[in-house]
Each structure stands twice: as structure tokens, then as C-alpha cells.
Amino acid sequence: MNTEPEGKVAIVTGASKGIGRAISLELARNGYHIVVNYRSDEKGAIETQAMIRQEGGDGDIMQFDVSNHKETQNAFDDILKRFKTIDALINNAGIAADGLFVMMPRKDWHSVIDVCLSGFYNMTKPVLEKMVVQKRGAIVSIASVAGLMGNRGQANYSAAKAGLIGASRAVASEVARLGIRVNVVAPGLIETEMIKDAPIANIKALIPMARIGKPDEIAKVVRFLCSEDASYITGQVISVNGGMF
């Protein structure tokens, strides 16, 4: 990493593609310097950084696994040396390992919980410690319609996302008086790699808008929640699902 950037700083986990990339670009357009996190897709992270720069913004790439507490803490040690403030944290990193619960291997349960829910703890706790001193900041976590309604074949993913919602609401109540806002965006079906094998035609029939959402439609809501336009919004879950739930 180079010199201290001007303006606001946002950390976006899982930013190498899909919703994370869209959020990174949207925040960069609105004056944020982006810390682009990835776990394994280095090529995608480099592409995200290049797209940010094409938009006139800038960002740093940081490789670490949000489910690994030691890796995450080491990354934060570097981040805190580099940046005086952290203005926004977007907990977007997530994985799926679908299967009927009665046949679900233990490793599939824990891998999804570790990334989607334990990752929230590993990322949010050190960021909050910084934001409490600043007395300002915005944290937005990306949950899912699965965390609200439960999806057949996704007990692990539904549990992780429901837990993310509950944790976010609890933390929001703890830090609201300190000038820190904590919210959740719960997407429905969005055009990403995660739904590439899904029965799209069947799913569309369940969506009142009769279409799949786009990553940019999530990113714009995240940008709003990070902005002063959302200064009186905390502890909320914003569903972006075309009326699916």
C-alpha cells in the first residue's frame, strides 16, 4: 500500500466479482477509496481494482480469508497502519454449499457458517473498535432472502444469513448512540455466479417482477445506507428482491 488516500475509506469483502464488485464500483464513484478484499480470485480482484481506476477512483487489494480470525487480524493491522479512518465496512463475502439437511456433511455446514457468520465477527469487531474512537461509521452486511424465509436445500446458508441479520440488529442497538449505523441488505435472486445452476425459469415464476435482479441494484442500496441520506437508519433489513418475499 502507498500513501494515505484523500476522502473516505470503505472495506468491501468478497469484492473480486458479482455483488462485491458492483458495491466497490458504486462506492468508488461516490468518493470512497476501496479496500478490495478477496480470498482466492486474485485475477478478479485485480480486475475490480482496474475498473475502479477507470471510474476515476482508487483502491488497494488485500488477500485474506474472512473466516480465518488470525488472517483477518493481520490484515487489520496493515489496514490500521495505512488508514487514519475507516468510514464504511461492507460484509459481502459469502459461500454456498447446498444440499438437503438430512444429507449435509458437517464440513458443508461449518464452511458456510464460518464465512458468512463468523466472518461478520472477524471483520466487524476490529472495525467497530476503530469506529467507536471516530464516533462515526457505517456497516452494511449482505444477507439474503434465504435468511428471511428459509430455502429448501440451504439450511446452512439460511441459518448463516438469519444469524447475520440477528447479529447486525443487536450490534446496531449497542453502537447507535456512538454515531455508528449498522444495517443489512437482503438480496433476492441476483445475476451472479452463485445462481448459475439454479432453475431460473421456475424461480422467475415466484418473483412478482418476473426477473432476476442485477448487482448494481444491490450496490445502489448499499451506497445509500453508507451515506448521510441514511443518517437516521440503523438496525434495519432492506430487502431487494423484486417482491419475492
Active site residues: 157
C-beta of residue 11 within 8 angstroms of C-beta of residue 226: no
Question: CA–CA separation, 26 vs 227, rounded Å?
Answer: 12
C-beta of residue 179 within 8 angstroms of C-beta of residue 137: yes
**SS3 of residue 216 by DSSP:** helix
Question: CA–CA separation, 41 vs 44, rounded Å?
Answer: 5
Helices 155-175 and 119-134, axial angle in degrees (round to 10): 10
Strand partners, 238: 185
